[in-house]
A and B are shown apart, each in its own frame.
Chain A
Amino acid sequence: MISKVKHIHALTSIKRERVLPVAGHVLVRRMQKVSPADVIVVAPLAPKFVLLDIAQGLNVNPVRADELLQRQAGEDLVQGDIIAGPVGIFQRVVRAPQPGIVRIAGEGKVLYEITSPEFELQAGMEGTVTNIIPERGAIIETKGALIQGVWGNGKITYGVVQPISNDMLQELVVEQLNIGFRGSIITAGYCREPEVLKAAGIVPIKGLILGSMSSELIPLAKKIDYPIMVIDGFRETPMNKAAEAILIENKDKNIALNAQELDTFRGNFPEGIISQSSTSEPDLPSEAETLKVGKKVIIINGPQAPQIGEIDKIISGKQGLSNGIETKLVEVRFANEKSTILPLTNLEILKD
């Protein structure tokens, strides 16, 4: 059986596409080095239009209104510029309500786009631009540590990673959130109290990476204005050992945290990237591999998640679980030599 690889790598090559959904102006060039805050493309993501009824404004019919138009599609205007008129005894005119551009004009109407601030898409990670996607964005590549999550609150940031303690075994509590974490992206085992998320916002921290989180916090976490990424799932368990080791080893280094929402259909996972200068040239990580004996795996669901082990044996045929479900099972051995039997479906491959 082919399994998805869960990306938790101390050093790997990372390639990400950063694009806008609408056409814009790309500001970077190929082979340019970028920092997370560098803007790579700008575009009017939410343009604002006004449909001006010129005929009504001038109190004439649409044909006459078109004759009285002073502007054509594409013309930039400032507030108060005359668009059509004057006409009549009172010299009626229609003026530009705000700075903007005439987009369409005719049949007695003008579609006018009000100038609005352009959306700036940042690189979101350190790296090198390896390809330009015309009018949309760029592909950025880097080398470094990669930690993939399973849930994010849709926000993005960049900052220094600060583990809350020397291990990620414990619950994050309000008392741990001191001024020393201000402006940091903190990492912790798990969180279950809403007060913790609120208190972290008051410090304020820049971002939060958790091993797991109580699902009761989801509605609040979505509203919190700093990024939150959950690596393993919804429960009260310590962070998986592989992610924990990487985050502790990279203490005080910069991490690009993209807590985007999970969308497996589009391949969007929340993730943290810690760029590193390295003379080695690691390959891009494989996305899927065959589950077989000797493979390192992480348990993704059930009471033993998110423990890491190694496939010791693949049991032939379908076997029954204690609840009666019949499925393909494997024996997974942990570092302490204890082992457990689990469905293949409850595992993902972990690569060093």
Chain B
Amino acid sequence: MKSRRFSAFVDAILGNRRPRRFEPRAEDADAMRAAIELRASQPGATLPSPEFVADLHRRLADEFGDAHAEATEPIERPVSRRRVLQGITAVAAAAAAVGVVVDRELLNPADDGKTTATAKSLEPDHGTWQRVAATADVPPGEVTPFATATTVGFVVNDGGNLRALSGVCTHQGCLLKHNQADGRLDCPCHRAAFSLDGDVLFQQFPGTLAPLPTVKVRDRDGNVEVYAPPPV
């Protein structure tokens, strides 16, 4: 009976046990979500046990310790990469969409403090032109977010001229949001904002913030295309 299974779910959550599989009704799903939220709100509930942290550390060392070392030795690389990549391709491809391939150099200015924050271009070593929108959907004055498998950003149509900017904050890599009302790109993490040219408008933390790198963009046969790395 369904209600018994739902009660068993709540019992499992309250007992910090793995709940059993069942087919919830639509109204069960909401209630299950509330039970999870209430359980997770108990003091200390969300903290991992030291045993788990240590055990997972050991397991990961077994699995990845030597693989990452081998990556610096090209002769070993084909073997270790194949092993590492087993079974993870689909998830990795999904995860790659957040723009993790943005080169470190394009984020904060050099750590020696001598470099001035100048805008750079995000040009992959092996990129391809990828369609991100129809040209008709980005009329003059329009700002459109885009995401390829490896890059996120915004295409700006500035009076008929297309421009593309990285959509990753140069502070800590948070994804920027287009603030239409103020005509800028806001970082939701630490109160910083960039102009639609990629310049830093303001920041509320110490240090220098690099402008947003630009991404190559073109209008081709009625399509807006950006030059970005192919999927991982």
Chains A and B belong together in one complex: no
